[in-house]
């Protein structure tokens, strides 16, 4: 790795949800590995999530600001959206985050960094950067495809020309034929919302930023990288999934599901996980259980409910004697605690991944060469599904069609038969599925080469750091 000026200081501001925090912290670790002095600004409970992963040999520190728990009426330690149990708690957490703006701004002014790398949900950091005359970079834990599709929806509004929410429409002026329905779009695209105002602030801050960092690979979406730069007029760099470039020296005790996977045949097990935030109703969990049993394919299913992992004694959402049957037949395993997803996906026994299409999960699956069953639910996940199934062609859709405004899922229940159909398709041996598996393996090799020395993500990061240096030294 290139050696940089050790006095060059970069401040990183991660947002307080794991899907945003982890990629930004990992990007901070990459900057530190390239010789920069890095400071991560966060709160005490969020710092506990990642501090053990920081390399003590790098110049990387964590500055914590107390979270205003009492002011927003939250219990001590609830500082991350993965810890909340209701929409009301989420709103209180969001309010608490807004109260941190002033102490964060003051720390940045006092520390006078050479650049700021900020999560998208801190658009105000562009104002501080302009005040200090330093570059501000925005990190998107997403892909160019999503931003191109979203932009064209705003410009052309094809969703306003259909007769009903379920009528498919084509999105104009894209490199591929991409169809969606109104029911798959965020509310702020269809009507004015407070969240839509936040998105507008974020988009405006993009235009004033030094550049955009994507945790994606330019090889995955070359046409959309070009479209983003030429049509949207944004300057961007793709650093891939930063954790692929970093050595983790911590020793993790073997998880019980990995021991179980060791006794399964290669490419036979379906991994089912919907991230740390999704809260399915019991009716949907029951349909998933029935489908997994009916499909007769081995599975590892990570279940989270109510803001924490499901307590074993409360099994009312499971079909009667379900867990006993799958244990007796050795057909499956339910994981109620945290699961080592990266290790699971890279296990030789895994043959497919049923996912909510969160971008970090998609990238981890791509890196492992595992094809997907797509089940998008909220945020930008329906766009990610189109990238997976229509552009990359490495997955099959389960058929979810209604966007949710939050992590408490209220969309229509996807029935057992539709789930079984998707599982049987992906885990079967048809010629179509063999082609999907081949493409998934080819993409895995491609993204792994991307983060190696001379690869596109490696080169993008080096070029970005050189640009920051040139900007700083030009100022001097």
Which are the catalytic amino acids?
Answer: 20, 119
Of all residues in the chain, what percent are helix, strand and coil, respectively (each to 5)? 45, 15, 40
- Is beta strand 179-181 parallel, antiparallel or unpaired with respect to 211-214? unpaired
Cβ atoms of 227 and 175 closer than 8 Å: yes
Instruction: Count CB atoms within 10 A of the CB of residue 453.
Output: 8
d(CA 388, CA 373): 10
Rounded to 5°, angle at Cα 214 from 426 and 160: 70
**Under a CB-based contact definition with an 8 Å cutoff, are residues 16 and 79 in contact?**
yes
Q: How many CB atoms lie within 10 A of CB 339?
A: 22
Q: Are 317 and 286 in contact (CB under 8 A)?
A: yes
- What does the DSSP 8-state code read for residue 413? P
Structure token pair of residue 329: 């037949």
Cβ atoms within 10 Å of 466's Cβ, excluding its own? 12
**Number of alpha carbons in the 13 Å side-chain half-sphere of residue 147:** 31
The alpha carbon dihedral of 23, 27, 33, 38 has a sign of: negative
- Helical (H) or strand (E) element with 179: strand 179-181
What distance in Å separates the CA atoms of residue 15 and residue 19, rounded to the nearest whole number?
Answer: 9
Q: Do the beta carbons of residue 373 and residue 394 sit within 8 Å?
A: no
Query: CB of 289 within 8 A of CB of 324?
Result: no
Q: What angle do CA 22, 93, 55 make, to 5 degrees?
A: 25
Sign of CA dihedral 19, 24, 27, 32: negative
Give the end-to-end CA distance of the chain in Å, rounded to a whole number.
25
What's the CA gap between 373 and 356, in Å, rounded? 9
- The DSSP output letter for 388 is I
Neighbours of 64 (CB within 10 A): 15
Number of Cβ within a 10 Å radius of residue 199: 17
């Amino acid at each position: 790795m290139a050696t940089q000026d050790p006095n060059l200081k970069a401040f990183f501001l991660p947002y307080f949800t794991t899907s945003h925090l982890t990629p930004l912290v990992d990007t901070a670790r990459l900057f530190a590995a390239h010789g920069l002095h890095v400071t991560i600004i966060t709160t005490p409970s969020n710092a506990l999530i990642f501090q053990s992963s920081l390399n003590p040999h790098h110049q990387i520190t964590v500055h914590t600001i107390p979270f205003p728990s009492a002011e927003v009426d939250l219990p001590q330690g609830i500082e991350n959206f993965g810890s909340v149990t209701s929409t009301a708690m989420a709103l209180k957490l969001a309010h608490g985050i807004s109260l941190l703006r002033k102490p964060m701004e003051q720390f940045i002014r006092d520390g006078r960094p050479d650049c700021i790398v900020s999560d998208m949900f801190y658009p105000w950091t562009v104002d501080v950067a302009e005040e200090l005359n330093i570059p501000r970079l925005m990190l998107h834990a997403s892909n160019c495809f999503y931003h191109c599709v979203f932009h064209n929806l705003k410009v052309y509004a094809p969703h306003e020309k259909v007769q009903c929410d379920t009528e498919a429409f084509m999105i104009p002026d894209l490199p591929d034929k991409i169809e969606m329905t109104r029911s798959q779009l965020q509310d702020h695209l269809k009507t004015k919302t407070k969240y839509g105002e936040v998105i507008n602030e974020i988009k405006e801050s993009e235009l004033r930023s030094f550049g955009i960092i994507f945790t994606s690979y330019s090889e995955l979406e070359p046409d959309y990288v070009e479209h983003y730069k030429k049509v949207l007029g944004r300057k961007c760099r793709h650093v891939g999934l930063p954790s692929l470039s970093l050595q983790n020296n911590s020793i993790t005790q073997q998880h019980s599901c990995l021991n179980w996977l060791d006794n399964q045949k290669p490419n036979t097990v379906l991994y089912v996980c919907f991230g740390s935030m999704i809260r399915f109703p019991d009716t949907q969990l029951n349909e998933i259980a029935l489908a997994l049993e009916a499909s007769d394919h081995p599975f590892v299913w990570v279940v989270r409910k109510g803001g924490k992992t499901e307590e074993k004694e409360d099994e009312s959402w499971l079909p009667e004697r379900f867990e006993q049957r799958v244990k007796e037949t050795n057909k499956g395993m339910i994981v109620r605690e945290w699961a080592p997803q990266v290790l699971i996906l890279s296990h030789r026994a895994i043959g497919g991944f049923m996912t909510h299409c969160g971008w970090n999960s998609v990238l981890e699956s791509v890196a492992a060469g595992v094809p997907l069953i797509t089940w998008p639910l909220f945020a930008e996940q329906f766009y990610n599904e189109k990238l997976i199934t229509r552009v990359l062609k490495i997955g099959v859709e389960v058929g979810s069609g209604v966007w949710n405004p939050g992590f408490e899922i209220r969309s229509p229940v996807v029935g057992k038969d539709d789930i079984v159909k998707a599982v049987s398709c992906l885990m079967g041996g048809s010629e179509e599925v063999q082609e999907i598996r081949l493409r998934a393996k080819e993409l895995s090799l491609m993204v792994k080469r991307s983060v190696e020395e001379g690869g596109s993500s490696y080169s993008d990061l080096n070029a970005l750091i050189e640009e920051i240096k040139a900007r700083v030294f030009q100022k001097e």
